[in-house]
């Protein structure tokens, strides 16, 4: 699709798919960091972890890392997942959800997509569980939480680990509680186009507090940094570690972004519901959402339409950038051995129909109204 619809040039009239949110205090905060002793992992990373935990996770242990993918890999390691363990994963997601399982050598069992929400299909998950299943990995697509109660029931019944890829759902809630309350491990992403960003970065959240020290060690080569900096390190590494740390440069931007998060969340929600109010009138278009699950984080606004390519082409003529942001993972060669003779009926039914509309803080509410009105002109419902 990108060959047919390359990124549009940034002009005053262009409505781009994404635009990074840079907080007002970022430059001042960065100047302070760049004139300090710490630009790598330092005291601001520690500060970010404390503030993030309090604001988004109800004080669960958190670990700031270099990317959401880093966080996922660490979650899989801390879960004790090993080579040939069977892991149930969504077939429709960013490849970052599933690629770290290839590092471990786990056996991926793809679950179909729920065509109403684009989240993992619960019935598909149930059918995939065997005695060899060790974990369920799931994504809250576009910011809409999965049925976390049902996933918890399934996990408890079968003694499975729950890993929540919340890269798209910062600030989402489920039954008035932080979504991190419902999984053994939850990861968040601060990649460039997420709700808040540090250019790239991530957070790992886990319920088991006893894992915190191990998590800190394997984030940094297996070294106990606190002991080393205190001059008491025994100069031994007992477990394989990685270079997955966040820097104070990234933490400085995120700390400023968190100050603005309430406004960011409110603005994105306003755009989302401006789209929904207008497009819900068009019976030829289906909005990907759920009336039963609340607490949406409003990262993406996705529609289903039969004439997806036709619509995308005509929106591009209006300088409106749209695209399919994620792609079904079973089509990628790296996952080929896991999908032989596998059929994903729900994914097949929506594969060529979904389209993601622009939503970011550079947009105004009137931009969303304009885009929705253009869509109803291109795909008339009368």
Which of 84-88, 96-100, 223-227 shows the lowest mean pLDDT across its residues?
Answer: 223-227
At residue 228 the predicted structure's pLDDT band, cuts being 50, 70 and 90, is: confident
Q: pLDDT tens-digit profile of 284-308?
A: 999 999 988 999 999 999 999 999 9
CATH number for the domain harbouring residue 172: 3.40.640.10
Same-domain status, 333 and 373: yes
Q: Is the pLDDT of residue 248 over 70?
A: yes
Q: Could you tell me if residue 6 is inside a domain? A: no
What sign does the dihedral 305-306-307-308 (CA atoms) show? positive
Same-domain status, 175 and 81: yes
Same-domain status, 224 and 250: yes
Q: What is the pLDDT of residue 233?
A: 74
Mean pLDDT within 218-231: 88
Contacts of residue 47, Cβ cutoff 8 Å, sequence gap at least 6 = 251, 255
Q: What is the pLDDT of residue 5?
A: 62
Q: Which two tokens stand for residue 19?
A: 């635009």
Mean pLDDT within 242-249: 97
Q: Which two tokens stand for residue 257?
A: 């972004």
Q: Could you tell me if residue 62 is inside a domain? A: yes
Mean pLDDT within 173-189: 97
Q: pLDDT tens-digit profile of 102-138?
A: 999 999 999 999 999 999 999 999 999 999 999 999 9
Q: What angle do CA 43, 71, 254 make, to 5 degrees?
A: 45
Instruction: State in Å, rounded, how far the first CA of the chain is from the last one.
Output: 29
Domain end among 259, 281, 306: 259
Q: Which two tokens stand for residue 312?
A: 């995308």
Q: Could you tell me if residue 11 is inside a domain? A: no
Q: pLDDT tens-digit profile of 33-49?
A: 999 999 999 999 999 99
Q: What is the pLDDT of residue 234?
A: 78
Are 162 and 145 in contact, with CB atoms under 8 Å apart? no
At residue 1 the predicted structure's pLDDT band, cuts being 50, 70 and 90, is: very low
Q: What is the pLDDT of residue 186?
A: 98
Query: What percent of the chain has pLDDT above 70?
Result: 98
Q: Is the pLDDT of residue 6 over 80?
A: no
Q: Could you tell me if residue 18 is inside a domain? A: no
The per-residue pLDDT of the chain, averaged, comes to 95
At residue 381 the predicted structure's pLDDT band, cuts being 50, 70 and 90, is: confident
Total of domains in the chain: 2
Same-domain status, 334 and 245: no
Q: Is the pLDDT of residue 227 over 80?
A: yes
Same-domain status, 140 and 231: yes
CATH number for the domain harbouring residue 338: 3.90.1150.10
Q: Could you tell me if residue 1 is inside a domain? A: no
Spatial CA neighbour of 199 closest among 16, 22, 17, 379: 22
Are 340 and 287 in contact, with CB atoms under 8 Å apart? no
Spatial CA neighbour of 270 closest among 366, 130, 200, 172: 366
Spatial CA neighbour of 354 closest among 300, 316, 314: 300
- Residue 212 structural domain: 26-259
Q: Could you tell me if residue 20 is inside a domain? A: no
Which residues, listed in sequence order, are joined to residue 186 by a DSSP beta bridge? 164, 205
CA distance 124 to 114: 9
């Amino acid at each position: 699709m990108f060959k047919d619809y390359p990124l549009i040039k940034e002009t005053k009239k262009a409505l781009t798919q994404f635009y990074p949110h840079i907080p007002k205090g970022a430059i001042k905060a960065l100047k302070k960091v760049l004139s300090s002793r710490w630009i790598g992992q330092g005291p601001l990373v520690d500060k970010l972890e404390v503030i993030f935990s309090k604001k988004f996770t109800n004080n669960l242990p958190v670990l700031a890392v270099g990317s959401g993918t880093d966080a996922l890999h660490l979650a899989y390691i801390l879960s004790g997942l090993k080579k040939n363990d069977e892991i149930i994963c969504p077939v429709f997601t960013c490849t970052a959800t599933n690629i770290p399982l290839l590092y471990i050598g786990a056996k991926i069992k793809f679950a179909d997509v729920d065509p109403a929400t684009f989240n993992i299909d619960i019935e598909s998950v149930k059918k995939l569980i065997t005695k060899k299943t060790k974990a369920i990995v799931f994504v809250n697509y576009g910011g809409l939480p999965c049925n976390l109660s049902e996933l918890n029931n399934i996990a408890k019944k079968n003694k499975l680990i729950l890993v929540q890829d919340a890269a798209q759902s910062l600030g989402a809630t489920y039954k008035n509680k932080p979504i991190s309350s419902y999984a053994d491990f939850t990861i968040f992403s601060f990649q460039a186009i997420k709700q808040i960003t540090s250019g790239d970065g991530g957070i790992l959240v886990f319920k088991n507090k006893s894992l915190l020290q191990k998590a800190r060690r394997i984030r940094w080569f297996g070294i106990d940094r606190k002991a080393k900096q205190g001059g008491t390190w025994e100069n031994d590494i007992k477990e394989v570690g990685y270079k997955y740390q966040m820097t104070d440069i990234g933490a400085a931007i995120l700390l400023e972004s968190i100050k603005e998060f309430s406004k960011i969340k409110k603005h994105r929600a306003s755009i989302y519901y401006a789209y929904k109010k207008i497009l819900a009138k068009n019976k030829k278009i289906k909005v990907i959402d759920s009336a039963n699950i609340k607490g949406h984080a409003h990262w993406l606004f996705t529609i289903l339409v039969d004439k997806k390519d036709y619509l995308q082409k005509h929106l591009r003529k209006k300088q409106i950038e749209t695209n399919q942001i994620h792609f079904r993972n079973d089509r990628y060669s790296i996952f080929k051995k896991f999908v032989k003779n596998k059929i994903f009926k729900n994914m097949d039914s929506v594969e060529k129909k979904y389209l993601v509309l622009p939503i970011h803080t550079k947009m105004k509410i009137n931009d969303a109204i304009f885009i929705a009105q253009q869509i109803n002109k291109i795909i008339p419902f009368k």
